[in-house]
Amino acid sequence: STKRVTNSIYGVLGFATEESSFRLFDWRIAEAITLSGRKMIQFSRDYVIDKLAEMGYEAYAAMGDTDGVGIAVPAASTRHEAMELVEEAVEQLNGPGYDDFFQQEFGVPPEHHHGEIEIESYAPKVFIPAEQLP
């Protein structure tokens, strides 16, 4: 629900047309929301890939967008193995990883940040076209 609230705040703070805008419109705040989200996703991607490497597994970002990242672990032989590996890395990310990130990047101490990521799904294969289709 935190992401929905953040997106709602972004929507009202970033809304403006030639005819009207939200009363609290401020493009700088809207821009800061998207920038901090992008930094968090990029940090999360790199952290999980690094943790998997420490466990002896090569991994890479297979895709990424404004909502998250898809990480491939080619050496994982089963869905269960891949999920266990990524769950362990994400557990570390949600603890000391985000504690350090929010403190260093935004000056927010561990007891005050609410950063958390979750694994939403597993896909044995993903098709990503090289260019957008019409």
Alpha carbon distance 82, 73 (integer Å): 7
The DSSP secondary structure of 7-58, one letter per residue, reads HHHHHHHT-B-SS-B-TT--HHHHHHHHHHHHHHHHHHHHHHHHHHHHTT--
Q: Residue 124 and residue 116: Cα distance in Å, rounded?
A: 24
pLDDT single digits (tens) 54-93: 999 999 999 888 788 999 999 999 999 999 999 999 999 9
List, for residues 10-62, the tens digit of each pLDDT value.
777 887 887 887 788 888 988 888 888 899 999 999 999 999 999 999 999 99
Structure tokens at 47: 């952290």
Write down the residue that tokens 């929301």 correspond to.
Answer: 33
The overall pTM is greater than 0.85 = no
Gap between the Cα atoms of 33 and 38, Å rounded: 9
